[in-house]
Amino acid sequence: MNRVFQAELSKFTRRRTIAITAGIVVLAAVAMTAIVFSMAEPTATDGFGGPSEGVLRPTTEDLAAPGGGAEAFSFAVSFTGIFVFVVFTANWASEFSRATFRTLLLAQPRRGLLLTGKLGGLLTYAAAALALGLAAAWAAGLALAPGADISTDQWFTWGALQENAGAYLNAVIGTVAWACYGMALGVLVRSIPIALAIGIVWTGPIENITSDSWTGVAGVYPGLLLRAIAAGGTPDASYVHALTVTAGYVALAVAAAVITFRRRDIVN
């Protein structure tokens, strides 16, 4: 696994790839921070001016709190899950459609090791990108706070460090889960367009439309559970519940991917 992990990481640790990733992450973090700070109001809203429900847009009070520096990051991460999912699904499916899995299997025939090593490499890179995103969002917030008349005194306390670590951990958990769902779908379906269509339709229209008419699904649907984790829990799904059920889903997704991959003929 260690060799596959190293090889997977080597694909991303090229200067050009790092520069592009860092540029996108920093740009997105700064832009999202600017939006959050410019739209922050003393009372929580749903983002459209109405009273808040479910995922909240940070208030000026939230931004001045110890975790204020990570608020924009957490807010952004709650919406980037689908992006992570798309990237990971496309990555896995393309290994089949472009037959690169075949080439890799000739070098590493232990399929379980190949799959988990690749996943580890991808997640390590994603975790590094998230750390950069958090740092960029925090720094941008520090620069923008005086203009929005928000105090950042609490951002330099021990509590702030814990809040930031918590926000980062939640982001990593969300990314790991989305990545595993993407891997399972990519390995099971093997076709980029079909895998993406299934994933996007499920996490977009199906989860959101049915959750409007049945609140109970917020504690069941994988995408809504991850949103609850990113928000530190919602009225419909507590943090612990979301974490526990998501852990089960992730275990199922990884098991399904590994079992399928180990049994499948690589014929293209």
Partner 1 sequence: MNSDLAIETQGLTKRFGGHVAVDGLSITVPRGAVAGFVGPNGAGKTTTMGMLLGLVGRSSGSGHVLGESLSDPSRYLGRVGASVEHPAFYAGLSGRENLRLLATVGGHDAAQVPALLDLVGLGDRGEDRFGRYSMGMKQRLAVAAALLGDPELLILDEPTNGLDPVAIHEMRRLIGTLAEDGRTIFVSSHQLSELEQTCDWLVVIDHGALLFEGPTTEFGAREVSITLVPQHLEDLGRLERVVCTDGRHAVERDDCRVKVTCAEEQFRVIAAEANRAAADEGIVLVELRSDRMSLEERYLEMVNGAAR
Asked whether 121 and 8 are in contact (CB, 8 A), the reply is: yes
Report the C-alpha gap between 180 and 141 in whole angstroms: 31
Is the CB of 102 or the CB of 194 nearer to partner 1? 102
Half-sphere exposure of 265 (CA within 13 A, CB side): 2
Q: How many residues are recorded in the chain?
A: 268
Is the CB of 241 or the CB of 264 nearer to partner 1? 264
Number of residues located near partner 1, criterion CB under 8 A: 25
Helices 2-12 + 15-39 axis angle, to 10: 70
- Site for partner 1 contains 6 (CB under 8 A): yes
- Site for partner 1 contains 220 (CB under 8 A): no
Report the C-alpha gap between 99 and 104 in whole angstroms: 9
- Site for partner 1 contains 15 (CB under 8 A): no
Is the CB of 100 or the CB of 244 nearer to partner 1? 100
- Site for partner 1 contains 87 (CB under 8 A): no
Task: Tell the smallest beta-carbon distance from residue 9 to partner 1 (Å).
Answer: 10
Compose the 92-121 pattern: x for residues touching partner 1 by CB under 8 A, - for all others.
------xxx-xxxxxxxxx---x-------
Helices 158-189 + 222-230 axis angle, to 10: 160
Task: Tell the smallest beta-carbon distance from residue 111 to partner 1 (Å).
Answer: 9
Closest listed residue to residue 128, CA positions, set 34, 12, 7, 223: 12
Residue type, 130: L
Is the CB of 244 or the CB of 268 nearer to partner 1? 268
Is the CB of 7 or the CB of 198 nearer to partner 1? 7
Closest listed residue to residue 185, CA positions, set 81, 80, 87, 106: 87
Is the CB of 99 or the CB of 247 nearer to partner 1? 99
- Site for partner 1 contains 259 (CB under 8 A): no
Residues 229, 231, 232, 234: what is their CA dihedral angle, to the nearest 10 degrees? -90
Question: What are residue 88's phi and psi, to 5 degrees?
Answer: -70, -40
Is the CB of 14 or the CB of 47 nearer to partner 1? 14
- Site for partner 1 contains 263 (CB under 8 A): yes
Task: Tell the smallest beta-carbon distance from residue 3 to partner 1 (Å).
Answer: 6
Report the C-alpha gap between 19 and 88 in whole angstroms: 20
Report the C-alpha gap between 24 and 17 in whole angstroms: 11
Asked whether 150 and 53 are in contact (CB, 8 A), the reply is: no
Q: Which stretch binds partner 1 (CB under 8 A): 25-33, 76-84, 226-234, 259-267?
A: 259-267
- Site for partner 1 contains 52 (CB under 8 A): no
Q: Which of 43, 158, 212, 267 binds partner 1 (CB under 8 A)?
A: 267
> Applying CB under 8 A, which residues contact partner 1?
3-4, 6-7, 10-11, 14, 98-100, 102-110, 114, 263, 265-268
